[in-house]
Amino acid sequence: MATETHDAAGHVADAAPGMPQLDFSTWANQIFWLVVTLVVIYLVLSRVALPRIAAVLAERQGTITNDIAAAEDLKQKAVEAEEAYNQALADARNEANNIIAATKTDIQKDLDVALAKADAEIAAKTAEGEKAIAAIREGALESVKAVAKDTAKELVTAMGGKADAKTITAAVTARMKG
């Protein structure tokens, strides 16, 4: 009813300023076009858009799952590599320890040999020295005996006794031993 006066001069709703919503003459038209709209949107969505989006989402889910699996794989590999590295490190350390030990033993052996040699030399020298000392001591003892015998004979003579060489020697020897 409002549309009849529409072309006049923009005075659209002058005649009956009612609610356009309750103008039932437009309902058939609106409902028809609404049904058309809904059917078109329904067909577009259910035939094209929704399956496509569902496929894209599923594909993305698959990709993500694959990527996660690949990442898991790589992580496994990394762990293995680390283990290998650690193994190599431990091996190298063992080797080094072995070498150190061997070297130490060698050095020890050499040292022992040298020490033994030096000990032997030292012992030899010591023995020589002792022999010399013994010889010197022997000599000294002999000299002391001779001096003592002489001194004793002289003393006995000076005291007016008769110097018996045999007795004096025995006495001196006894004294020196005691």
Partner 1 sequence: MEGDLAHIGAGLAAIGSGAAAIGVGNVAGNFLAGALRNPSAAASQTATLFIGIAFAEALGIFSFLVALLLMFAV
Partner 2 sequence: MATETHGAEGNSLVFHPMDQFIVKPLFGGEGMGMFTITNATFWMILAIVGVIALMVLGTSRRATIPGRAQSVAELAYGFVYKMVEDVAGKDAVGFFPYIMTLFMFIVFSNFLGLLPMSFTPTSHFAVTVVLAMLVFLTVTIVGFVKNGSKFLGLFWVSSAPLALRPVLAIIEVISYFVRPVSHSIRLAGNVMAGHAVIKVFAGFAAIAVISPVSVLAITAMYGLEVLVSFIQAYVFTILTCVYLKDALHPSH
Residues that bind partner 1 (CB under 8 A): 17-19, 22
Give the number of other Cβ atoms within 10 Å of residue 54's Cβ. Answer: 10
Binding residues among 40-79 for partner 2 as defined by CB under 8 A:
40-42, 44-46, 48-50, 52-57, 59-60, 63
Exposed / middle / buried, residue 116 (Cβ in 10 Å: 0-12, 13-18, 19+): exposed
Q: Write the DSSP assignment of 8-47 as a string of letters.
A: TTS--SSS----GGG-GGGHHHHHHHHHHHHHHHHHIIII
CB of 30 to partner 1, least distance (A): 18
How far is it, in rounded angstroms, from Cα 78 to Cα 74? 6
CB of 73 to partner 2, least distance (A): 20
Of the candidate spans 17-25, 76-84, 112-120, 157-165, the one that interacts with partner 2 by CB under 8 A turns out to be 17-25
How far is it, in rounded angstroms, from Cα 136 to Cα 128? 12
Binding residue for partner 2, selected from 11, 104, 117, 175, defined by CB under 8 A = 11
Residue 115 is a binding residue for partner 2 (CB under 8 A): no
How far is it, in rounded angstroms, from Cα 39 to Cα 46? 10
The SS3 call for residue 152 is helix
Q: Which is nearer to partner 1, 21 or 29 (CB)?
A: 21
CB of 22 to partner 1, least distance (A): 6
Residue 129 interface partner, choices partner 1, partner 2, none, CB cut-off 5-8 Å depending on type? none
Please report how the helices 50-158 and 165-177 are oriented relative to each other, as an axis angle in degrees rounded to 10. Answer: 150
Residues that bind partner 2 (CB under 8 A): 2-4, 6-7, 10-13, 17-23, 25-38, 40-42, 44-46, 48-50, 52-57, 59-60, 63
